[in-house]
Structure 1
Amino acid sequence: MPEDPPYLRIVAELRRRIESGELTPGARVPSVRRVAAEWDVALATATKALAVLSQEGLVRAVPRVGTVVATPAPARRSAPRRDPSVHLTRDLVVRAAIDIADAQGFAALSMRAVAVELGVPTMSLYRHVRGRAELAMLMADTVFGEHRLPAVPPPTWRAQLELSARMQWAAYRQHPWLPRLIPITRPHPTRNLMPYVEWALRAVDGHGQDTTTMLHAHITLFGYVRGTAVDIETEAQAEFDTGLSAEQWMDANEAGFSAVLDSGSFPVFARVSSEEFAFDLDALFEFGLQRLLDGFAVLFR
């Protein structure tokens, strides 16, 4: 009988450690490099083994931590989770939707999922929201309502725009699904997002530019923050799918990058270290924010 491929033997051993309790929920599992060294296999083989464990739901990637043993999902209860004495409201519906999106991603959100979360019939939700599209708008508005701009702004236009951008970034960091719900070309006049528009326009008002330029500056900055934040969810999904952090993914693909760079066709890029290439999104956001504001300084003197 043929022997199992190396990656399956690794999967079997790590599965045994998890199921026996040797590796407990939340404990870090060996990194790609450690797996490769322990079993004397290529990084690609180690990567494949951890990806299989992730697909089985035994491990999960945690940003800035690494791959850890997943906590077993609690058994689904047949009884409603909501206290029947609590009156169903729009706010309860929206909060439940945010909880689902935070835990499972926006793709997992549906009216039925919210109904299950609240322990109510699906049709009862439509007395409070018209459907998933309106629910998404209410979710975004609720989140921005939790990130309110201060009553007294900083003294300069640049400090005001910096503060606004960082508060938006914090909202996106807390809720990675949020950027995709905020359209630029078809904005919604929501009560908690509109203050960000007014704040930006007031920040640059009185600096010699017309309202079109002022509005374009706001949209450019808003679009930069939102566009960079889209990769928060993308990276989280990639970690879930592969079981690898960005650093581990770079390690696993080191041989491929080395082959390309050793060709001599990309001499400048070859000077970039692997640590520099595995950049931090927060650092990238700050770098871009400052360069964008440097450009604005030409307009708003």
Structure 2
Amino acid sequence: MRAEAAPYQQIAAEIRRSIESGKLRPGERAPSTRALVRDHGIAMATATKVLATLQQEGLVHSRPGVGTVVGPPPRLSATQQRAPEPSLSREEVVRSAIAIADGEGLAALSMRRVATDLGVSTMALYRYVGGKDALVLQMVETAVGDFPFPAKRPTSWREGIETAARLQWSAYRAHLWLPAAISLSRPQVLPNLLVHTDAVLRAVSGFGVDASTSLYAAITVFGYVRGVALNLEPEARAEQDTGMTADEWSGHQTDQLVALIGQHDLAGFRALDFGSFEFDYDLDQLFEFGLGIMLDGLAVKLQRMRAPLR
């Protein structure tokens, strides 16, 4: 039985039919990513992939200052080719790069690709962001900065860490490439990342532990959130490729799993009664569940090491 087309493919097919039927005519604006998110209830990354698919087919193209419009990109005349390149800002370059990474992954990002989307030469980008490595750093800084801390300070150590962790999770949720772009062992020295580390350091300061313990606590929190978030992009791409959610995929494995449980006498699994038990696999729930366990354990550890919780 043929698997159902992934959501982005279904939406792309719908827009393709509108273009082929003349409902959307050349030069008219195609639905924006925000409109696709609103109208179809999909993630921004999925909406970006819809337009990327149509652009690869030559059905739409990006027009600076306008958005995505119907039709292939126009062929430039010799005079136009010699015309001065449009003026850009660093913010425009970084946002364009983020849009590419959101829709197609960080592997699809290149200086040439960003330049093409912005309608400038590749060399022109170096005036704004330097090379690709420097661009990725600015993408990380911008993506994290889009989820600022609330002005009101947390009232407890636990709320302080929960706030930092959930903001990081939200950033990872919005930008699936982001967890892999940030290093745990060699953290990038970026202002918006340092704010997150500082928030955890302030939270654990009330325990009166030494500096090394405080830093290990901050790294542990960051490592936990990033570790779970590293599963977001592979899961999203698997869902797009197969047209099945994680729960639907697991449902297709039930018979095989039940057979293996009996064959190898896996008592722990057998106690779950997989024949009738339906597990709702959700990464958001997993994140919250693990965050609670981590903070419970961190409180006990820090209390034992030094001062009582205040």
The secondary structure found in structure 2 opposite 1:76 is coil
Paired residue type of 2:178: L
The secondary structure found in structure 2 opposite 1:193 is helix
Q: For residues 216 and 276 of structure 1, what CA distance do their matches in structure 2 show?
A: 37
Q: For residues 298 and 160 of structure 2, what CA distance do their matches in structure 1 show?
A: 13
| Contact 2:86-2:120 at 8 Å conserved across structures | no
2:54 matched residue in structure 1: 73
| Contact 1:160-1:203 at 8 Å conserved across structures | yes
2:240 matched residue in structure 1: 240
Deviation of 1:155 (Å): 0.9
Deviation of 1:81 (Å): 2.3
1:269 matched residue in structure 2: 269
- Aligned residue pair count: 244
Q: For residues 155 and 168 of structure 2, what CA distance do their matches in structure 1 show?
A: 20
1:32 matched residue in structure 2: none
Deviation of 1:260 (Å): 0.6
1:25 aligns with 2:14: yes
Q: For residues 275 and 198 of structure 1, what CA distance do their matches in structure 2 show?
A: 43
Paired residue type of 1:246: A
Q: In structure 2, do the counterparts of structure 1 residues 285 and 276 end up closer, same or farther at CA, with 3 Å as the change threshold?
A: farther
Q: For residues 248 and 14 of structure 2, what CA distance do their matches in structure 1 show?
A: 20
Q: For residues 175 and 275 of structure 1, what CA distance do their matches in structure 2 show?
A: 33
Q: TM-score, normalised by structure 2?
A: 0.71
Q: For residues 148 and 234 of structure 1, what CA distance do their matches in structure 2 show?
A: 26
Paired residue type of 1:212: S
1:122 matched residue in structure 2: 122
Q: Give the number of the structure with larger relative contact order, counting CA–CA contacts within 8 Å between residues 6 or more apart.
A: 1
Q: For residues 267 and 239 of structure 1, what CA distance do their matches in structure 2 show?
A: 31
Identity, in percent, stands at 44
Q: For residues 211 and 248 of structure 2, what CA distance do their matches in structure 1 show?
A: 47
How does 1:180-195 map onto structure 2 within 5 Å? 180-195=180-195
Higher helix share: 2
2:211 matched residue in structure 1: 211
Q: TM-score, normalised by structure 1?
A: 0.73
| Contact 1:79-1:119 at 8 Å conserved across structures | no
Cα deviation code 1:53-96 (max 9, x no counterpart): xxxxxxxxx78xxxxxx786145389872248852121111000
Q: In structure 2, do the counterparts of structure 1 residues 25 and 250 end up closer, same or farther at CA, with 3 Å as the change threshold?
A: farther
* Ranges of 4+ aligned residues in structure 1 off by more than 6 Å: 77-80
Paired residue type of 1:139: M
| Contact 2:157-2:206 at 8 Å conserved across structures | no
1:198 aligns with 2:180: no
1:172 matched residue in structure 2: 172
| Contact 1:250-1:278 at 8 Å conserved across structures | no
Q: In structure 2, do the counterparts of structure 1 residues 284 and 80 end up closer, same or farther at CA, with 3 Å as the change threshold?
A: closer
